[in-house]
């Protein structure tokens, strides 16, 4: 797959993210979007990220803008620093996808770029702008290794130094760019952080599809280390992972619902793939379901805020990334809006709420409506074959009836993003090709975790068989 914009940012193979291509995208961003005179640049811990960051910095400077090198830091920390300075930002990250891939995330001084901005960047790529000679206006380069400090202070100020007192929390560090930040924030909030398994090589942790081996490892750590919970993130720390004391992973959309409720949100925007229990919580007067991807969630949040600037609106995704659209308050102080996907807020909020309730994470989750989800993906799926399968199922009720026969009668079909089929049993199976990798994602929902897992297994098997019939999997 050639590099392209997916659900959030530009993604592609490292071999295709050449210096020329990175430079072209950065120039197009600066031409097409109101980026201003300063651009902050951050990166994750992939081996390819320093080189790509240097390419981005060179392109920024060649365009006569100041490039601020922030080094390695979480994506939400970079966004917070840039918005605080009224500057644009570029994050070099492939998020959760394998190390042979990487990407760019673009931020305006007002926040994450929209799908309209992505389209404008694409149009600018088709009419390249000549790079000015250095003598004609080479931009300055500065360094800001402290750019992540405000991100740490944000949570200490809002939650206080005793919010997590008495909790022993494991930190699965792997290659997350937030692995030290997690330890620092948990410790500052009174917890005893236990660092685990830092890796010198990149580990593609997908918080939305945690494999069985990783789940077993998490459970072993919780038992062996006597942990109250365990936390982690994906590579660039905009997707959280949290387990209870038994090492059971709490789905990201459950984290989002608990966080939104704890912070007093009255309106919630979340992708159609999220657990439908969010529609059953009385605290949320408005629930807006969107296409998958933070730009779509942000657009829905902005629509609500345009109609009512005082709306207490929040957003979250099935991967757990949380977006805060109003001035909230934590146990100890104010919490300013941050409308970009963040892993830290749901981790801290849920842990603090569980401690305050005295129930543990498992008890907090048990108090929600009994709807359970499961998700996984098939990898190395040709995009054109995935699209052809969905087109065939979308066009024919008969084809869907045959494909989904083991799940019973179809009760509804939602085409907001991919194909989300509801059945008379109340179960749901959602099929969707990834927007930024050669993957086919499958989501399932049912009234028990066991049944959700069974529906997911069935969905993966049916999709794999259909793709194999046409030779779509490599």
Known catalytic residues are 95
Determine whether 170 is exposed, middle or buried from the number of CB atoms within 10 Å of its CB (0-12, 13-18, 19+). buried
Q: Tokens in use for 26?
A: 């950065």
**Cα–Cα–Cα angle for 82, 70, 185, rounded to 5 degrees:** 80
CA distances from 158 to 232, 364, 412 (A): 21, 21, 43
Buried b (16+ CB within 10 A) or exposed e, 447-469: eeeebbbbbbebbbebbbebbee
Q: Tokens in use for 93?
A: 């990250």
Contact 30, 128 (CB under 8 A): no
Length of the chain: 474
Q: Tokens in use for 372?
A: 């359970």
The residue behind tokens 């990487």 is 102
Contact 121, 114 (CB under 8 A): no
Helix (H, G, I), strand (E, B) or coil at 310: coil
Element (H, E) at 396: none
């Amino acid at each position: 797959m050639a590099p392209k914009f997916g659900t959030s940012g530009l993604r592609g193979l490292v071999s295709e993210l050449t210096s020329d291509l990175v430079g072209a995208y950065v120039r197009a961003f600066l031409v097409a979007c109101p980026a201003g005179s300063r651009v902050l640049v951050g990166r994750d811990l992939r081996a390819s990220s320093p080189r790509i960051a240097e390419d981005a910095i060179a392109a920024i400077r060649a365009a006569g803008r100041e490039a601020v090198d922030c080094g390695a830091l979480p994506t939400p920390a970079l966004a917070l620093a840039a918005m605080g300075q009224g500057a644009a930002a570029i994050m070099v990250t492939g998020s959760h996808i394998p190390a042979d891939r990487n990407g760019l995330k673009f931020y305006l001084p007002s926040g994450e770029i929209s799908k309209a901005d992505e389209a404008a960047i694409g149009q600018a790529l088709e009419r390249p702008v000549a790079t000015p000679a250095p003598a004609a206006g080479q931009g300055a380069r500065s360094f800001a290794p402290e750019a992540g400090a405000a991100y740490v202070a944000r949570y200490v100020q809002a939650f206080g130094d005793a919010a997590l007192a008495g909790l022993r929390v494991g930190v699965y560090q792997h290659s997350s760019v937030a692995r030290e930040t997690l330890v620092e924030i948990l410790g500052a909030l009174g917890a005893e952080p236990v660092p685990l398994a830092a890796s010198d090589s990149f580990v593609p942790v997908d918080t939305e599809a945690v494999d069985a081996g990783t789940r077993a490892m998490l459970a072993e750590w919780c038992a062996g280390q006597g942990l109250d919970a365990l936390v982690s993130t994906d590579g660039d720390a905009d997707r959280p992972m949290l387990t209870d004391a038994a090492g059971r992973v709490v789905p990201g959309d459950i984290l989002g619902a608990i966080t939104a409720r704890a912070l007093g949100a009255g309106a919630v925007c979340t992708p159609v793939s999220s657990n439908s229990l969010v529609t059953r919580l009385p605290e949320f007067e408005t629930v807006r379901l969107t296409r998958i991807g933070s730009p779509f969630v942000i657009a829905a949040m902005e629509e609500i805020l345009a109609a009512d600037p005082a709306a207490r609106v929040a957003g979250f995704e099935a991967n757990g990334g949380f977006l805060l659209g109003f001035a909230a308050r934590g146990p100890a102080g104010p919490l300013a809006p941050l409308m970009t996907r963040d892993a830290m807020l749901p981790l801290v909020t849920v842990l603090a709420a569980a401690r305050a309730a005295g129930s543990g994470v498992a008890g907090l989750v048990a108090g929600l409506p009994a709807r359970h989800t499961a998700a996984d993906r098939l990898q190395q799926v040709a995009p054109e074959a995935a699209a052809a399968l969905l087109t065939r199922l979308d066009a024919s009720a008969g084809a869907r009836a045959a494909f989904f026969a083991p799940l019973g009668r179809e009760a509804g079909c939602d085409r907001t993003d991919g194909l989300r089929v509801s059945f008379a049993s109340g179960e749901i199976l959602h099929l969707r090709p990834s927007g930024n990798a050669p993957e086919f994602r499958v989501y399932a929902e049912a009234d028990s975790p066991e049944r959700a897992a069974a529906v997911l297994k069935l969905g993966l098997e049916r999709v794999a068989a259909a793709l194999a019939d046409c030779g779509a999997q490599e």
